[in-house]
Amino acid sequence: MSSALSTLSTFCFAWIALYLFLRLIHAAWIVTKHVNRLVSFGFRSRGPGGSLDAALKSAMKLMGWSSVVVLPVGIISCLALVFR
């Protein structure tokens, strides 16, 4: 039982760490894209992004909502492992 709780808590915290890492990379990508638009001399109108932007946005939203569920599960399993 303790190995299952340990595996569950490790998975939950790894999921949260992966979500935060991908969120940071996505934020850096968005900032770089906007800075490059401001610095470039050809101020042309561009569309809202594209299919890659939409896919990343929906993936981040899905991972964010799943992190809301996974974080309490990880904390509870970690506490159950400690106070067992």
Residue 42: what are its φ and ψ, rounded to 5°?
-90, 95
Q: What percent of the chain has pLDDT over 90?
A: 30
Query: What is the mean predicted confidence (pLDDT) over 10-39?
Result: 83
Q: Structure pTM?
A: 0.71
> Measuring CA to CA, how many Å separate 11 from each of 51, 81, 82?
30, 14, 16
Query: Is 22's pLDDT higher than 70?
Result: yes
Query: Is 17's pLDDT higher than 90?
Result: yes
Q: Is 48 helix (H, G, I), strand (E, B) or coil?
A: coil
Q: How many Cβ atoms from other residues are within 10 Å of residue 8's Cβ?
A: 18
State the helix-helix crossing angle for 51-82 and 2-39, rounded to 10 degrees.
150
> Given pLDDT bands bounded at 50, 70 and 90, which one contains residue 39?
low
